[in-house]
Structure 1
Amino acid sequence: MNEKVDKLVLENKEKLFEAASRLIKIKSVATESAGEGKPFGEGVAKVLEEALKIGEELGFKTKNVDGYGGHIEFGENGILFGVLGHLDVVPEGEGWSVDPYGGIIKDGYLWGRGAVDNKGPTVATIFALKAVKDSGIVPKNRVRIILGTDEEAGWNGIKYYFQKEEVPKYAVTPDASFTAVYAEKGIVNYEITYVRKTSNSNLLYLKGGEASNVVPQKTVAILKNFDENTLEFLRKFRPKNESRIAWEITNKGLQIEAYGKSAHGSKPEAGVNAIASIVDVLSNLLSSDDDTYLFIKIISEKIGYETDGKSLKIAGSDCVTGSLTVNLGLIEMTESELKAVINVRYPIYYSFEMMTNQVVEALKPLTVKVTGHLKPLFISPDSDLIKLLCEVYTDVTKLPPTLITMGGGTYARAVPCGVAFGPLLPGRPETEHQPNERILLEDLLLVARIYAQLFYRVLSGELS
């Protein structure tokens, strides 16, 4: 380990924490375009400018690529080594004990949406690169920290960025776990719709979920008409998961709410799905001639509480990435249609085409459309990149390396040779996409220390 570089990281730890806090204070949930240079809304544009400003303050060359992304770079020649971070976040949701956009530092943690996913770790890599730059190294290669803008909402930003900018020969992303993630499941969103034929429905309102890749923690339905039998059913009803059902009589009708537990969409079994229990309730309370009944019935029977795709007949696993998962992430009713979105993470040896055909058949007569697809990722554990990451990790932490596969989808698959590398350390709780997202300050500093040693070796010419 280069001791000089490590010392420089430690000397700047307070500035690192302050810079990460600056970014968390900006609510950067991707929205519709706010005009030129702001394709994903005001918040995302603001956080991109702030991150580039941090890079400029530290003495780096920076570039804003039309608001779709940007980068911070060190080095003039040699191969391009990329770090793929993202500055957008999922909606904050409910259940926080602190301000989700306060950037609060307390109890040894940095708190807020983006602390782990992915503002905090991205800032750590910027300060890691500063330490290497300040060490006086004469770089033989280039390191570029690429700042993504809609990783959580569709990847249009990174696609646009790479239409305009050089694609790195090697890349890592601090958006998963240590040591290194050499395989990621394929990810697909299926949008399921039903066009309403009439307005003949007792269901006035239905809405649940905030993003397809988050287990929904709240869902609301309103019934226009109800009687004592309806209320008696609700009193006795027990969801098949651990969600809580509440209801009240309002001037609009009977409002029914389900409360679950959010989790990352790659691990739906770790959450409690509020949509699933509301769909279960409605499938029992709506009459068969109700205009919304068919949609509710099919969603309940073919998806419902399941997270493995069994009733869709797509359940399965492989020897590398394990089992397929399904997250019923969104549901909504409008005057003209009902819509749901499921987020499916499938093993790397699955056939996407065959799986999609089965989903379409299983959900007939509802309409199914693919609204987003990321192919699986696999990088050989014997590759030079993986070997280098393992050596650096062990050199800094003194821990044995562990190679990982996962269902999460990272920017690693946006380039030909990319690997997720950190920030989560073994044994640490996963708080991304959940209330009270946070990261230990000592862990954030360790991320910077690990990345600094990686950058030193890359810039010294160990990869070619």
Structure 2
Amino acid sequence: MNEKIDKIVLSLKEEMFKEASNLVKIKSVQSDPAPGKPFGEGVAQALDYALKLGERLGFRVKNVDGYAGHIEYGETGKLFAVLGHLDIVPEGEGWSVDPYGGIIKDGYLWGRGAADNKGPTVAVIYALKAVKEAGVPIKNRARIILGTDEESGWECVKHYFEKEEKPVYAVTPDAAFPIIYAEKGIITYRIRMKRDLSSSGKIKVLRFEGGDASNVVPQSAVVELSPVDDETMQKLKTFRARNNARIDWSTENDRLVVRAQGKSAHGSTPEKGINAIAALLDFLRDLDLSEDVKTFVRVLASKIGYETDGSSLRIAGRDCVVGDLTVNLGTVRMNDETLEATINIRYPIYYSEEMMARQIKEALKPLDVEGEHHLPPLFVSPDSELIKILSEVYTEMTNQPATLLTMGGGTYARAVPCGVAFGPLLPGREGTEHQPDERIALDDLVTVARIYAQLFYRMLTLWE
């Protein structure tokens, strides 16, 4: 360990906390594009803030057409990169603090993006600052690449690497320590059915919507029905969701509004959440609805419903590296033209995506199914040079063995020739990403910065 660099990291921690807080205050949820702002105003503000921070700290920075940017140190040699992202999922409901307050209290930084991924990205920036300030001679280059579309479609890094070189090795502080050497394949399927407004049914569905994103377990969902009859009310009063989602309702004139309240979780671990959409599908499946809505509800309820393992889709399975396939029913929407839902699937490394897609489309007939946002699986050999370097740095800084892990989440490690996820979640810590009251311990941010400072030192000065 370079003790000089480590002491500098500790001296910068209060400044680091302040800048991480400032970045959390920017609501960088994807919105309508504008010139030079392909993912909307808030995302562009976050990218601009982070690049200006890098510039203030004495680094070269570059904005690549508003899609992404980088902070760079070093002039020659091999390129090592750290990839973070500045976009966030919507805040959702259930917060005890302002999700965009950048609040620091009780030893934590609170807010959407505090852990995923603004706080860790700022920690990495200050890790590189510590190496620069130490004045050690370097022979390689380091880039902190700032993505802006990680939560939605990865168009940011696709565009970035069309314009910029790819690193030899890279890591991302967007998962967990010690080292994530394998990640499941990820694909979102959009499920649609055209409306038939002439189809008959005793009860008309006026509104049906739930969920914020395909990769988040939906915490809330709502359906509006008309007319309100005694039979429907009796079913509602006796209905109990099998996943323990809370059901409440209200009536106004001849309309019944039914709400389901569940629990959000990351789409990679849908079994940890309570899916509000699944609960409403269960309630609706026995009602006398118009034929189009009835078909849509029946297929989704019978082939997905409360399940998170794909059993009824006939795609359930596992492999010896990353484990079980998972399915998250993320969103549902309707209008006068279409009924639509999205599912997010995390599949084992040795699966055939082509065969899986064929089976899903067959199982969900007569609904239309289209795949989008596909990320193939990631696997980096445990015997690789990158894994060896990361293991040595992690063990040196924590005095703990660098256990190799796998995950269902998807990180920017897949965007480069050889990359893995490395932090920020320390062993035994609770993951709060994509949930209400997202937060990260200030002490853990310091640990991330300390580990990454030594990693930068190793890659900039010793890597051959």
Task: Please indicate the TM-score interval, normalised by the length of the shorter structure.
Answer: over 0.9
Give the deviation of 1:198 after TM superposition: 2.3
1:414 pairs with 2:409? no
Identify unmatched segments of 5+ residues in structure 1.
none
Which among 281, 285, 288 is matched to residue 279 of structure 1? 281
The aligned runs of 1:119-158 (5 Å cut-off) are: 119-158=118-157
Q: Report the counterpart of residue 15 of structure 1 in structure 2.
A: 15
- Matched residues in 2 for 1:238 and 1:405: separation? 36
- Matched residues in 2 for 1:106 and 1:252: separation? 48
- Matched residues in 2 for 1:8 and 1:251: separation? 67
Give the deviation of 1:366 after TM superposition: 0.6
Give the deviation of 1:331 after TM superposition: 0.4
Which amino acid counterpart does residue 37 of structure 2 have in structure 1? K
Give the deviation of 1:399 after TM superposition: 1.2
Q: Report the counterpart of residue 345 of structure 1 in structure 2.
A: 346
User: Do the aligned residues in 1 keep the contact of 2:228 with 2:254 (CA within 8 Å)?
Assistant: no
Which amino acid counterpart does residue 275 of structure 2 have in structure 1? N
Q: Report the counterpart of residue 424 of structure 2 in structure 1.
A: 423
Give the deviation of 1:227 after TM superposition: 1.0
- Matched residues in 2 for 1:118 and 1:367: separation? 34
Aligned pairs, number: 461
Residue aligned with 1:432, SS: coil
1:216-270 CA distance string (max 9 Å, x none): 0000000011212211111111111021011100246100000000000000000
Q: Report the counterpart of residue 24 of structure 2 in structure 1.
A: 24
Q: Report the counterpart of residue 272 of structure 2 in structure 1.
A: 270
- Matched residues in 1 for 2:293 and 2:274: separation? 24
Residue aligned with 1:285, SS: coil
1:310-357 CA distance string (max 9 Å, x none): 000000000000000000001011100100000000000000000000
Q: Report the counterpart of residue 227 of structure 2 in structure 1.
A: 225
User: Do the aligned residues in 1 keep the contact of 2:186 with 2:375 (CA within 8 Å)?
Assistant: yes
User: Do the aligned residues in 1 keep the contact of 2:197 with 2:336 (CA within 8 Å)?
Assistant: no
1:423-457 CA distance string (max 9 Å, x none): 00000001000000000000000000000000000
Identify unmatched segments of 5+ residues in structure 2.
none
1:134-193 CA distance string (max 9 Å, x none): 111121110000000010010011100110111111000000000110000000001000
The aligned runs of 1:385-464 (5 Å cut-off) are: 385-462=386-463, 464=464
Q: Report the counterpart of residue 90 of structure 1 in structure 2.
A: 89
Give the deviation of 1:362 after TM superposition: 0.4
- Matched residues in 1 for 2:321 and 2:48: separation? 39
Give the deviation of 1:277 after TM superposition: 0.3
Which amino acid counterpart does residue 268 of structure 1 have in structure 2? P
Moved more, 249-258 or 427-436: 249-258
The aligned runs of 1:109-258 (5 Å cut-off) are: 109-200=108-199, 202-251=204-253, 253-258=255-260
Residue aligned with 1:364, SS: coil
1:77-133 CA distance string (max 9 Å, x none): 111101000000000000000000000000000000001000000000000000001
Which amino acid counterpart does residue 185 of structure 2 have in structure 1? G
* Cα distance change, pair 286–141 in 1 and its aligned pair in 2 (3 A): farther
- Matched residues in 1 for 2:421 and 2:429: separation? 17
- Matched residues in 1 for 2:459 and 2:10: separation? 20
Residue aligned with 2:286, SS: helix
Q: Report the counterpart of residue 356 of structure 2 in structure 1.
A: 355
Q: TM-score, normalised by structure 2?
A: 0.98
User: Do the aligned residues in 1 keep the contact of 2:227 with 2:254 (CA within 8 Å)?
Assistant: no
- Matched residues in 1 for 2:105 and 2:18: separation? 13
Which amino acid counterpart does residue 334 of structure 1 have in structure 2? N
Which amino acid counterpart does residue 8 of structure 2 have in structure 1? L
- Matched residues in 1 for 2:288 and 2:412: separation? 43
User: Do the aligned residues in 2 keep the contact of 1:199 with 1:291 (CA within 8 Å)?
Assistant: no
Give the deviation of 1:32 after TM superposition: 2.2
Which among 256, 259, 262 is matched to residue 260 of structure 1? 262
- Matched residues in 1 for 2:440 and 2:152: separation? 23
- Matched residues in 1 for 2:314 and 2:462: separation? 50
